Amino acid sequence: MVRQPHLGLAMTAYFPGHGDHRYGVTHYDLRLAYRVAANRLDGTARLTVSAAEPLGVLDLDFGRFRILGVSVDDLAARYVHARGKLRVTPPRPLPAGAQAVVEVRYAGSPVPVPSRWGGLGWEELTDGALVAGQPIGAPSWFPCNDRPGDKASYRISVTTASPYQVIANGVLVARRRGAGTTTWIYDQAEPMATYLASVQIGRYQLSDVDGVRLAHPARLATRVRHDFGRQGEMMALFEELFGPYPFSGYIVVVADDDLEIPVEAQGMSIFGRNHADGVRGSERLVAHELAHQWFGNSLTVACWNDIWLQEGFATYAEWLWSQASGGLPTAGHAQRWHQRLAMLPQDFVLADPGAGVLFDDRVYKRGALTLHALRHAVGDEVFVPALRAWATEHRHGTVTTREFAAHVQRHTSRPVVPLLSAWLYDKPLPPP
C-alpha cells in the first residue's frame, strides 16, 4: 500500500489560518473601484455560500480593510474583523445544505498578505497593479474561503481611470465608459480556486500572436511578440498530450515592472518586463505557465501538500516542449536534474513537503522526475493516454496524489505503486 498522509491534517498544518471546510462558496460577485495613484480600493463582494453543516457563524479570510457593512440574504448581520478573519453571524443560523448570499462592503488600501515568501496578493506597480495570489494572497483584495479545494464561478467588475486596461479572469462581457473612468466586467464560468483569481491593471497594448492574446507596454511590443511568439505551437503540443485547452481563452500579461518570477492565474499568466529579453531567454517559463492551465488551474490540488501535482507536471511540460522544439530531450533534462538533486539534502517527502519548502526547486524537479520515471516504466503507449485521461476526467475539479496513483494503475497491468511510493513518500532520491 502507498503510505498516505492525512490530507486534512496536512492542509491545516500548512496554513492553519486560512480556509473553512464547514462551508463552500459556489459564486463570487466582486464589484470593485480602484484609484491607481492613491492605491484605494472600494469593493462590494457577494458570496453565495453553501453550508456543509449547521452554521451559526461564517469565518471569511479577509485582509486589512475598513468594513462598511455586512448582510446575509439582504438582512444586516453582526460581524467581527480581526487578524485576517471576518467572522459573520447570520440573523438566523444556516442549516446543513442551506445556501445564503453574504454581502461585504469595504474600502481601504490593499496590503499584500505577509508570508515566508514575501507579500502575496494585491501589489502596486509603478503605474498600475497586479494580483499574485498563490498560495494565500486572495484575502488581500476580497473576502473569501481561502482554500484551494473550494472552487467557484466568478463575476469581477473593476472601475478605474480610462487610460488603464483592466484584465481579469474569464470573458470580458461588458466595458462601460463613464466620466473619466471605465468599468470592465468579466465572467469566469469555470470553477476557480481563490488563489487563481486575478486582476491586472496597467497601460497595456493588446496583441494577438498565433491565437494567443498578449497585453504589454507598447514600447515592448516587438520584443514581447517575439519572446511569446511560439505559444501557439506550445498550445498544440499540450492539447495533443493533455487534451483540449480547458478554458474559454488565454492571455499573457507582461507588466511594466520587473518580477522575480512569473505568476499563473486561471486563463492568464503574468510576467515581468525582465522576462521579455528579445531572445526567448524565458521560454521554459512561458511553457511552464501555459501548462498550469491544465495542471493547477483546471486540475487543482485539494490541499497544498499535493503541490507536486501542479508544479511537477508543469516542470515536466517544460521538458516536453524543450524536446519538441529542438532543444534538450526530456531524458537529458532528467539526467541533469537527477544529478543535481542527488547532491542536495534528502530531507523532505515529495507528496507532503511541508509549507517551508512548498516552492523549493526540489519539489518542482523531483515532481518532474517522478513523471519521467513513471513514463520510462510504463512506456509512452500507456503514459501519454493516462496523462491525457487524467487531465480530461478531472477537468475543472480537484485532485490528490492518491487519486493519481489509482488512475495510473487503472491504465496498466504493471504494478506502479512501489515506484510511485519510492518517489513520493520516501525521502532518499530513487536511482535514475
- Asked if residue 427 has pLDDT above 60, the reply is yes
Q: Average the pLDDT over 385-390 and give the result.
A: 98
Q: Please give the grid coordinates belonging to residue 250.
A: 488565454
Q: How far apart are CA 156 and CA 30, in angstroms?
A: 5
The pLDDT tens digits of the residues spanning 42-52 come to 999 999 999 99
Give residue 269's identity as a one-letter amino acid code.
Answer: S
Domain identity same for 248 and 373: no
pLDDT at 384: 97
212 belongs to a structural domain: yes
Mean pLDDT of the chain: 95
- Asked if residue 6 has pLDDT above 70, the reply is no
Domain identity same for 36 and 184: yes
1 belongs to a structural domain: no
Task: Give residue 300's pLDDT band: very low, low, confident or very high (50, 70, 90).
Answer: very high
* Other CB atoms within 10 Å distance of the CB of residue 425: 16
Give residue 281's identity as a one-letter amino acid code.
Answer: G
Domain identity same for 120 and 242: no
Q: Average the pLDDT over 241-246 and give the result.
A: 98
Q: Confirm if 177 and 191 have CB atoms less than 8 A apart.
A: no
Domain identity same for 337 and 414: yes
pLDDT at 9: 35
Give residue 279's identity as a one-letter amino acid code.
Answer: V
360 belongs to a structural domain: yes
183 belongs to a structural domain: yes
Collapsing DSSP to helix, strand or coil, 159 comes out as strand
Domain range for residue 373? 300-425
Q: Average the pLDDT over 112-130 and give the result.
A: 96
13 belongs to a structural domain: no
- Asked if residue 279 has pLDDT above 70, the reply is yes
Q: Average the pLDDT over 153-180 and give the result.
A: 97
Q: Confirm if 293 and 255 have CB atoms less than 8 A apart.
A: no
Q: How far apart are CA 272 and CA 270, in angstroms?
A: 7
Domain identity same for 274 and 396: no
Task: Give residue 12's pLDDT band: very low, low, confident or very high (50, 70, 90).
Answer: very low
- Number of domains forming the structure of the chain: 3
Q: Please give the grid coordinates belonging to residue 102.
A: 453574504
- Asked if residue 5 has pLDDT above 70, the reply is no
Q: Please give the grid coordinates belonging to residue 155.
A: 463575476
Domain identity same for 328 and 237: no
Domain identity same for 57 and 191: yes
| 371-393 b/e (C-beta count within 10 Å ≥ 16 → b) | bbbbbebbeeebbeebbbbbbee
Q: How far apart are CA 238 and CA 357, in angstroms?
A: 28
Task: Examine residue 135 and say whether the peptide bond preceding it is cis (omega within 30 degrees of 0).
Answer: yes
Domain identity same for 172 and 251: no
Q: Where is the domain boundary, 174, 200, 226?
A: 200
Domain identity same for 338 and 388: yes
- CA 161 → CA 128, 129, 158, 180, distances in Å? 10, 13, 10, 6
- Asked if residue 3 has pLDDT above 70, the reply is no
Q: How far apart are CA 352 and CA 7, in angstroms?
A: 9
Q: How far apart are CA 171 and CA 155, in angstroms?
A: 10
5 belongs to a structural domain: no
Which run of H or of E encompasses 11?
A: helix 7-14
pLDDT at 4: 42
Q: Average the pLDDT over 226-242 and give the result.
A: 97
Q: Where is the domain boundary, 241, 275, 293?
A: 293
From 9-13, 14-18, 390-394, the region with the lowest mean pLDDT: 9-13
Q: Where is the domain boundary, 170, 200, 230?
A: 200
Percentage of the chain exceeding pLDDT 70: 97
Q: How far apart are CA 347 and CA 345, in angstroms?
A: 6
Q: How far apart are CA 82 and CA 116, in angstroms?
A: 21
Domain identity same for 184 and 76: yes
- Asked if residue 298 has pLDDT above 50, the reply is yes
* Other CB atoms within 10 Å distance of the CB of residue 332: 13
pLDDT at 98: 97
pLDDT at 211: 87
- Asked if residue 152 has pLDDT above 70, the reply is yes
* Other CB atoms within 10 Å distance of the CB of residue 179: 5
Strands 263-265 and 268-272: antiparallel
Q: How far apart are CA 41 and CA 72, in angstroms?
A: 22
52 belongs to a structural domain: yes
Domain identity same for 29 and 95: yes
pLDDT at 13: 65
- Asked if residue 10 has pLDDT above 90, the reply is no
* Other CB atoms within 10 Å distance of the CB of residue 236: 14
Q: What is the DSSP string of 176-244?
A: EE-SSEEEEEEEEEEEE-GGG--EEEE-PEEEEETTEEEEE-GGGHHHHHHHTTTHHHHHHHHHHHH-S
The pTM for the full model equals 0.95
The pLDDT tens digits of the residues spanning 337-377 come to 999 999 999 999 999 999 999 999 999 999 999 999 999 99
CATH number of the CATH domain containing 50? 2.60.40.1730
- Chain position carrying cell 478573519: 85
Q: Confirm if 408 and 393 have CB atoms less than 8 A apart.
A: no
Domain identity same for 289 and 381: no
Task: Give residue 248's pLDDT band: very low, low, confident or very high (50, 70, 90).
Answer: very high
- Asked if residue 242 has pLDDT above 60, the reply is yes
CATH number of the CATH domain containing 394? 1.10.390.10
6 belongs to a structural domain: no
